[in-house]
Amino acid sequence: MDSVLRFKDLSKMIHSSDFVRLHLSASMETNNDLMLARLTNKYIDKNTGYVFYADFYSLNDDNDDVDDDGASSLRQVRPRSCPFKHRKGYTFPLGYCHGMLALGTPDQTPALNQVSTRSVFYHDTCSDRYKLVQKVVVQPHGEGICSFQSYNLEVNGFTTFHALPDDDVYHSRRTLSCFVNGALHWLARRSSDGFRSEIVALQLEMLECYKLPLVRYRRNCVPTLAVLGGLLCATFSNRRDSTSTSTYDIDVWVLKEYGGEWTKLFNLTSVDCGIHRYVYPIAYSKNREKVLLHIFYHSNPWDFLWWCHLKQEKLIPVNIPGAPHSFQAMLCLPSLVNYITMSAAGRISIPLDVVPDILCCLPLKSVLRFKAVSKAWCSLIESSYFSRLQLSASMETNDDLMLVIVTNEYIDESTGYVFFADFYSLDDDNDDDGASTLRQVRPRSCPFKQRGGCLPLGSCHGMLVLGSRYGNLDFWNPTTNQCYSTLLAPGDTQAMMQTTTRSVFYHDTCSDQYRLVQKVAAQPHGRGICEFQSYNLEANGFTTFHTLPDDDVCHSRRTLSCFVNGALHWLARRRSDGFRSEIVALQLETLECYKLPLVQYRRYCDPTLAVLGGLLCATFSHRRDGITWDIGAWVMNEYGGEWTKLFNLITSRADRYVYPLAYSKNKEKVLLHFFNSSDVLGWYHLKQEKLIPVKIPGAPHSFQPMLCLPTLVNYQKL
C-alpha cells in the first residue's frame, strides 16, 4: 500500500474508482496488511489523538519470541494522524468497513452519545454506497420505540427510516450491533421471558424484522454477539462459583450456516479474568489456529487482548507496548476507499425513460425505498403510469404472492384481524408428520384495530376491501399501507352484513376503475327480490343498479360469488327443480342475466363455486358413510363449454365445504380451504393423489383466506 501511494502523483489512475475497487478486491483476498486499530478515550498526543494502529500479524505466540511471562507481544507501527486531536470530550468508534473508520464525538450529537445507541458502517452492494446506520432507543429501559436512522451526506444528518416497538430493546451496554447477511443484528430481551436474551435482526434492504435462535444458556450467563470470520458468533461467560469473583467459564459458538444450528468453537473452564466478564472475539489468526479475544468489563477501565489457541485450549495474553489501559479494538484493512468519492461514484446517471423498466425488475419493497433518491423518482413511482406497469410485471411473475388470513378473532393491537404469510413458503418436505408449514412474515398494520369483527369483501390487484358491523369500509393496500376509509349509513351496513349478501371487488377494464359490487337478497329464504348494488365513492354509499326475481337466491351461506369473464357468478336453486343448484351469471357491463351448465351431481352433495387459475371451478362434497367424504373438483377450461374433472379425493375430514384457492408454482398441487365448524388449509397433489395438511403457526381456528399480489395500486387515484 505504501508503494502504491508513492505513485499517486504520477498517474490519476490510482485515484479512479475502478482502481480503488480493484485494489480493495485484491486486499480482501490476501489480508496481508491487516491492521489492528485501538481507539481510546484517553488523549495520547497531538499527532495520534485518540487512535493508534498496530500490525495484526506481528502478534506471535511462538516459544522463541514470547515474553518471560508467556505473553505475546505486538509490534506497534507508526501512529496515523487522527482527525480528533483536541482534548475536549472524547471519541468513540461507530463502525468500520473496507479500511474506513467512522468516529464520533459527543459534541452536539446526543443520539450518538446514548449508551443504548448502536451503529454499523457497511457497504450496500445494491446502491454501491457506504452507509452508516444507527439503532437508537428512545428510552433506554424499553419505554418507547426503537428507531433506525441512516446518515445522509447531502443533508449532513441522520434520517429515520424504520421503527420497532419497545419489546426489542437492546440488552447490554457493551454488546455491539452486528452486520451479517445484509441485516443488522442485536441482542434483546423480553420481561415476559424472564429477561432471557434473543437475537433480533432487521433486513436493511427489505426492512423485514425477524428473530434468530440463540444457544440455550444458563440464566446467570452474560451473552455477547459478534462477527468472527464473516459469521455470527455468540459468547457466554459464567461465573464458575459464588465464592470466586474472578474465575469464569467461557463458551464461544458460531453460526456456520445463517439461520441454522450453532456450532461450539471452543470452551474454556476456570479462566482467571479478574472482574472482566465480557468476551468479544475479534479475528482468527492467519493459520486459523487461534482466535483473538477482547475481554472487558463496562465498569472497569481496563481492557485486555488474549489469544485463544483452539487446539491447545489455552489463553495467551497479548502485550502492546504503549497501549492505553482502556480501549476498543477493531480490524482495519488498508485500502484506497474514500467515503465521499465512492458515494459520488455510486450515483450513476440513469436516463429517466429506462428507470421504470429497471424498477419493475426489483422487489416492491426496494422500489418504495427508491422514492427517496430524488423528486423525479418519487413522482415517477407514485404515478398511475408506473403503478400499471409494475402491476403488469407482477401479474406475469407472481413471485411475491401473499396469503391473507382474515379472522373475526382479535389478534393484537398492531395486527388487528389480518395477518399475511408468504404463499410460496409452503413446503411439504420438512415436517416429520408429512405436514406442510407456512412461514409467517411480519404482520401489517391493519386498519381495523377495534374489537368488533372484520368482514373480507374482496381483493383485486393487491388491494383488500374490509368491512365491519359498525359500518367501517376500508380499501386497503397493505404493501404501501395506503388506505381509504369511510363510514357507511346504517342501511348499507345492515345489507352488507347479511349472511346472504355476496360481494366482489374487481377492475372494470372499460372505465379503468375498481368497483365493489354486492348481491343482496331482500329475504334470506328467497321471498322477494335480489338486488345488485355498487359502491359509489362520491355518494359514499351503495346504489342499486339491477334486480332479479327471488328464484335465483344464493344457495349456500359459505359459497362466495365469483367474478370471471366480466360477469358475476353464483349458485342458485329453484323450488320447482327440487332445490338443485345451478350457476347464474350477470354480465355487469350489459346487465344480461344468463345461466351456465353445472356438472350433474348427486342429490345430497354440497356444491361450491370458486375461481381457480382464472377459470370457474366447482367442487362437490358427498358423505360416503358416517366418517368419510367424497370430494370432486371440476374446472371449466373454456367459458361456457364442458367441465373437466380436476381431481377426486376421499377424506375423513368433517369439514364438508371445500374451496380451491390457487395452484402451486409448478402447477402440481392445489391449495384447498376446508370449512364448516372450523377452517383448515391443505395441499392436494394432483399426480400423487394425496392430501397434505398445511400448518400456519399462530393462525386462528376460524378464518377466511385470500390471495394478494403486492402492487402500488391506489383506490382513490385509479
Q: What is the pLDDT of residue 526?
A: 47
Nearest to 4 by CA among 32, 23, 28: 23
Over residues 250-263, the mean pLDDT reads: 89
Residues 6 or more apart whose Cβ sits within 8 Å of residue 687: 668
User: What's the per-residue H, E or C state across 275-305?
Assistant: CCCEEEEEEECCCCCEEEEEEECCCCCCCEE
Q: Which has more confidence, 456 or 126?
A: 456
State how beta strands 513-521 and 529-536 pair.
antiparallel
Confidence band (pLDDT; 50, 70, 90) for 452? low
The tens digit of pLDDT for each residue in 559-587 reads 568 899 999 998 887 666 666 778 889 99
Q: Which has more confidence, 15 or 283?
A: 283
Residue 707 scores a pLDDT above 90: no
Over residues 620-633, the mean pLDDT reads: 81
Q: Which of 284-298, 628-642, 671-685 has the highest mean pLDDT?
A: 628-642
Residue 472 scores a pLDDT above 50: yes
Q: What is the pLDDT of residue 523?
A: 58
For the chain, the residue count is: 718
For residues 48 and 40, what is the distance between their CA atoms, to the nearest angstrom? 11
For residues 371 and 187, what is the distance between their CA atoms, to the nearest angstrom? 31
For residues 213 and 474, what is the distance between their CA atoms, to the nearest angstrom? 38
Confidence band (pLDDT; 50, 70, 90) for 43? low
| Distances 673 to 464, 678, 683 between C-alpha atoms, Å | 19, 10, 9
pTM of this structure: 0.54
Q: What is the pLDDT of residue 246?
A: 64
> Under a CB-based contact definition with an 8 Å cutoff, are residues 59 and 283 in contact?
no
In eight-state DSSP terms, residue 88 is: S
State how beta strands 314-319 and 72-73 pair.
parallel
Q: What is the pLDDT of residue 274?
A: 58
For residues 519 and 507, what is the distance between their CA atoms, to the nearest angstrom? 17
Average pLDDT, the chain: 76
Report the percent of the chain where pLDDT is more than 90: 9
Residues 6 or more apart whose Cβ sits within 8 Å of residue 564: 611, 614, 615, 616, 639
Burial 345-365 (b: 16+ CB within 10 A, else e): beeeeeeeeebbeebbeeebe
Q: What is the pLDDT of residue 157?
A: 80
Q: Which of 113-122, 132-141, 434-443, 614-623 has the highest mean pLDDT?
A: 614-623
Q: Cα 23–28–34 angle (5° rounding)? A: 100
Lowest mean pLDDT among 184-193, 255-264, 292-301, 511-520: 292-301
> Under a CB-based contact definition with an 8 Å cutoff, are residues 601 and 614 in contact?
no
Phi, psi of 14, rounded to the nearest 5 degrees: -65, -30
Residues 6 or more apart whose Cβ sits within 8 Å of residue 188: 167, 168, 169, 170, 171, 197, 198, 199, 200
For residues 212 and 260, what is the distance between their CA atoms, to the nearest angstrom? 9
| Distances 152 to 101, 130, 158, 175, 393 between C-alpha atoms, Å | 17, 11, 6, 26, 32
Report the percent of the chain where pLDDT is more than 70: 69
Q: Cα 190–195–199 angle (5° rounding)? A: 65
Q: Which of 78-92, 227-241, 253-267, 371-385 has the highest mean pLDDT?
A: 253-267
Confidence band (pLDDT; 50, 70, 90) for 437? low
> Under a CB-based contact definition with an 8 Å cutoff, are residues 324 and 316 in contact?
no
Over residues 480-503, the mean pLDDT reads: 80
The tens digit of pLDDT for each residue in 478-487 reads 888 888 888 8
Lowest mean pLDDT among 255-259, 351-355, 612-616: 351-355
Confidence band (pLDDT; 50, 70, 90) for 505? very high
The tens digit of pLDDT for each residue in 381-431 reads 888 888 889 998 888 887 778 888 887 766 665 556 777 777 776 654 445
DSSP letter for each residue of 605-674: -EEEEEEETTEEEEEEEEE-SSS-EEEEEEE-SSTTS--EEEEEEEE--S--EEEEEEE-TTSSEEEEEE
Long-range contacts of 632-638 (CB under 8 A, 24+ apart): 632/601, 633/658, 633/660, 633/670, 634/599, 636/596
Over residues 312-327, the mean pLDDT reads: 76
For residues 550 and 195, what is the distance between their CA atoms, to the nearest angstrom? 63
The tens digit of pLDDT for each residue in 159-198 reads 888 887 755 444 444 456 789 988 999 888 766 666 677 8
For residues 301 and 274, what is the distance between their CA atoms, to the nearest angstrom? 13
Query: Which three cell numbers mark 536?
Result: 359509489
Confidence band (pLDDT; 50, 70, 90) for 233? very high
Count CB neighbours of 404 within 10 A: 20
Lowest mean pLDDT among 201-215, 342-356, 509-523, 525-539: 342-356
Q: What is the pLDDT of residue 154?
A: 66
Residue 552 scores a pLDDT above 50: no
Residue 48 scores a pLDDT above 80: no
Q: Which of 348-357, 476-485, 637-646, 672-681 has the highest mean pLDDT?
A: 637-646
For residues 18 and 29, what is the distance between their CA atoms, to the nearest angstrom? 17
Q: What is the pLDDT of residue 555?
A: 45
For residues 562 and 588, what is the distance between their CA atoms, to the nearest angstrom? 12
Q: What is the pLDDT of residue 516?
A: 92
Query: Which three cell numbers mark 568?
Result: 358475476
Q: Which has more confidence, 350 or 291?
A: 291
